Amino acid sequence: MSSHLFSPISFRGLTLDDRIAVSAMCQYQAENGTANDWHLMHYGTLSMGAGNLLITEATAVSAVGRISPNCLGLYTAEHETAIKRFVDFCKTHGTAKLGIQIAHSGRKGSTQPPGKGGKPIAIADGGWETVGPSGLGYADWAAPRMLDDAGLAQVKAEFVETTKRSDRIGFDLAELHGGHGYLLHQFVSPLSNQRTDGYGGSLANRLRFPLEVFEACRAVWPEDKPFAVRFSATDWVDGGFTADEAVVYAKELKALGCDFIDVTTGGLDPRQKIDVKPGYQVFLAEKIKKEAGIATMAVGMIVSAQQAENIVASGEADMVALARGVMDDPRWAWHAAQELGETVAYPAQYARCAPAAWPGAAWKGKQIV
């Protein structure tokens, strides 16, 4: 039987040749939100053989929406030109389809990159005032400014404008970042959203703003292009957002035209307790897929070809996404295909190293004396 992992899957007008995606990975290398040669190298490399769908790092809709001063943004013409440079390169030389993750950090913004400590940056030191659904800070960080009606409208408009720019650049797919404790996640979780108006309290109210943002973005995104959402399906904290609530969220998104859910977890509250092990989040992708009736992408400690094959073959998820696994091996999909007895497309420049064209493949991994 042929591999399920290397079977095609289609969403609207986009067909992927396999079920392997490169997950969004923050790089913290941008300059005032602008992509540079690092991004050209990073995405160019991953577009060659890591998976058939390559999703950019979280790309902020505004300067305030960045996690750190070095995060990628798409809210100026300069940003648009810089991102188009690496997208055009990937489309010309790579084999992957290109997706963008559109994001706003909310109360978790104005921080140092993780490599520099990841701590909040005071306004006096070049940071900025963060915003959120409520005036509740993350851990002991500074409290954000609670978004009023005008603020909500502005943020939604920023998401819409970045969505329009993403289409002009030529992305094949867009994904809203609704996880890891960032702004849209902050609205859905009762731990961070303690509003008393129509955007807080009940689950329906907590979902309202993220759903409004999705609906507005879907309306300006081409009908034949897929639009997905990544969200955290649980906070891993008592009293937080739950897996059952995540199913409701997924159903609402599906009704608005969402094509699949990229299922992640956590990131909202430092009290979270997670038993990290291979495939530790897959059961949530399976739950949402089966109970909400929507396609899902599983992420989190997916490291081997057979593990990924089993996830897709068993119906636990429709796709898998890898991050550190493809950082370690940018040709992960090539090697997975070889292990599972499948073939994948190689860029023309690298066609000579495809197993069928390279006699050395027969000896690779063997001790030669």
| Span 331-368, pLDDT tens digits | 999 999 999 999 999 999 999 999 999 999 888 878 77
Tens digits of residue pLDDT in 6-58: 999 999 999 999 999 999 999 999 999 999 999 999 999 999 999 999 999 99
**Domain at 343, CATH number:** 3.20.20.70
User: Quick one: which H or E segment has residue 298?
Assistant: strand 295-299
Identify how many contiguous H helices and E strands the chain contains and give both numbers: 10, 12
For residue 259, is it within any domain?
Answer: yes
Residue 356 forms part of a structural domain? yes
pLDDT for position 269: 97
Q: Give the C-alpha separation, 67 to 26, whole Å.
A: 9
Mean local confidence (pLDDT), 283-292: 98
CA distances to 20, 21, 77, 281, 352 from 299, in Å: 10, 9, 32, 7, 32
Does residue 1 form part of some domain?
A: no
- Cβ-Cβ contacts under 8 Å for 190 (sequence gap 6 or more): 206, 239, 240, 241
- pLDDT above 90 for 171: yes
The stretch 143-155 carries a mean pLDDT of 98
Q: Give dist(CA 26, CA 69) in Å, integer.
A: 12
In a domain, 368, yes or no: no
pLDDT in tens, 199-237: 999 999 999 999 999 999 999 999 999 999 999 999 999
Tell me how many domains the chain contains.
1
Positions annotated as catalytic residues are 182
How far apart, in whole angstroms, are the C-alpha atoms of residue 235 and residue 298? 17
The pLDDT score that the predictor gives to residue 1 is 54
Please give the residue range of the domain that contains residue 333.
Answer: 9-362
Q: Quick check: is 3 in a domain?
A: no
User: In angstroms, rounded to a whole number, what is the distance separating the alpha carbons of residues 132 and 294?
Assistant: 29
Q: What is the mean pLDDT of residues 190-198?
A: 98
Would you mind telling me the total number of residues written for the chain in this entry?
Answer: 369
Report CA-CA distances (Å) from 324 to 20, 301, 327: 14, 8, 5
Residue type, 213: V
Neighbours of 220 (CB within 10 A): 13
4 domain-assigned = no
Q: What is d(CA 157, CA 150) in angstroms, rounded to the nearest whole number? A: 11
Q: What is the pLDDT of residue 364?
A: 81
Residue 112 CB: number of other CB atoms within 10 A?
Answer: 18
pLDDT of the residue at 215: 98
Give the integer Cα–Cα distance in Å for 123 and 296: 39
In a domain, residue 369? The reply is no
Q: Considering the domain boundaries, does residue 229 fall inside one?
A: yes
Q: Looking at residue 332, what is its pLDDT?
A: 98
